[in-house]
Amino acid sequence: MLEIINDYWLFFLIGQYPNGPIGGLAGTLLLATICLILALPCSILIAIGRTGKNRFWRGVTFVIVYVMRGTPFLMIIFWAHFLGPLVFGTSIGAFWVMVIALVLYESAYLGEVIRAGIQSLPYGQTEAAKAMGFPRTKTMTLIVLPQVMYNSFPALLSQFVSIIKETSLGFVIGVHEFTYAASQVNSILLVKPVEIYAILGLTFFIVCFTFTSAARWLERKIGKSQGVLPA
Partner 1 sequence: MSFESMAVLQEPYLSWLLQGLSLTFALFIFSWTTAFVLGFLLLLLRMSPIKVIAWIPATYIELARNIPLLVQIMFWYFAVPMLLPDFLQQALNRGDSGFVLAGLALGFCMAAYFSESFRSGVRSINNTQLEASRALGFSFLRTMQYIVFPQALRATIPLIMNNTLLLFKNTSIAMAIGVHELMYQVLSINNDTFRTFEIFFVATLVFLFFSVLIMIAGEFAERWAKKSRRISDA
Question: Of 20, 72, 146, 230, which one interacts with partner 1 (CB under 8 A)?
Answer: 72
**Can you say whether the dihedral through the CA atoms of 134, 140, 144, 150 is positive or negative?**
negative
62 contacts partner 1 (rule: CB under 8 A): no
Question: Of 1, 33, 41, 82, which one interacts with partner 1 (CB under 8 A)?
Answer: 82
Phi, psi of 13 (to 5 degrees): -75, -50
157 contacts partner 1 (rule: CB under 8 A): no
Please tell me the distance from the alpha carbon of residue 44 to that of residue 108, in angstroms, as a whole number.
10
78 contacts partner 1 (rule: CB under 8 A): yes
Q: Which stretch binds partner 1 (CB under 8 A): 17-25, 40-48, 74-82, 114-122?
A: 74-82
CA 53, chain centre distance (Å): 28
Please tell me the distance from the alpha carbon of residue 101 to that of residue 167, in angstroms, as a whole number.
10
Q: How far is the CB of 171 from partner 1 (least distance, A)?
A: 6
169 contacts partner 1 (rule: CB under 8 A): yes
146 contacts partner 1 (rule: CB under 8 A): no
CA 211, chain centre distance (Å): 12
Residue type for position 59: G
181 contacts partner 1 (rule: CB under 8 A): no
